[in-house]
Structure 1
Amino acid sequence: MAAEPTPAATDIAWYVDAIGKDAEFASTSQAEATELVSNFMGGASNPFGVPAVIVARAVLEVGADLFYRKTTRNGVVGFGDMEAQPFRLNRDPMAAAYPLLRPYLVIGL
Structure 2
Amino acid sequence: MAVTAADLLAYVNPDQYAGGSGDPTDKFVESCVARATALVAKYIGTHEVPAPIVDGAVLEVGSELYNRRKAPNGVAQFGSGDGAPTVFTARDPLIRAYPILDQFVPTGVA
The residue that corresponds to 2:91 in the other structure is 91
The 2-side partners of 1:90 and 1:55 are apart by 20
Retained in 2: the 8 A contact 1:78–1:85?
yes
Retained in 2: the 8 A contact 1:61–1:97?
yes
Size of the alignment, in residue pairs?
A: 97
Unaligned segments of structure 2, at least 5 residues: none
CA positional deviation for 1:39: 0.3
TM-score, length basis structure 1:
0.76
Unaligned segments of structure 1, at least 5 residues: 1-7
State yes or no: 1:30 paired with 2:33: yes
CA positional deviation for 1:25: 1.4
Aligned pairs for 1:39-78 within 5 A: 39-42=42-45, 47-78=46-77
CA positional deviation for 1:81: 2.9
* Counterpart residue identity of residue 61, structure 2: V
CA positional deviation for 1:101: 0.5
- Structure 1 stretch 85-94 or stretch 10-19: which is displaced more? 10-19
Retained in 1: the 8 A contact 2:8–2:63?
yes
The 2-side partners of 1:20 and 1:50 are apart by 30
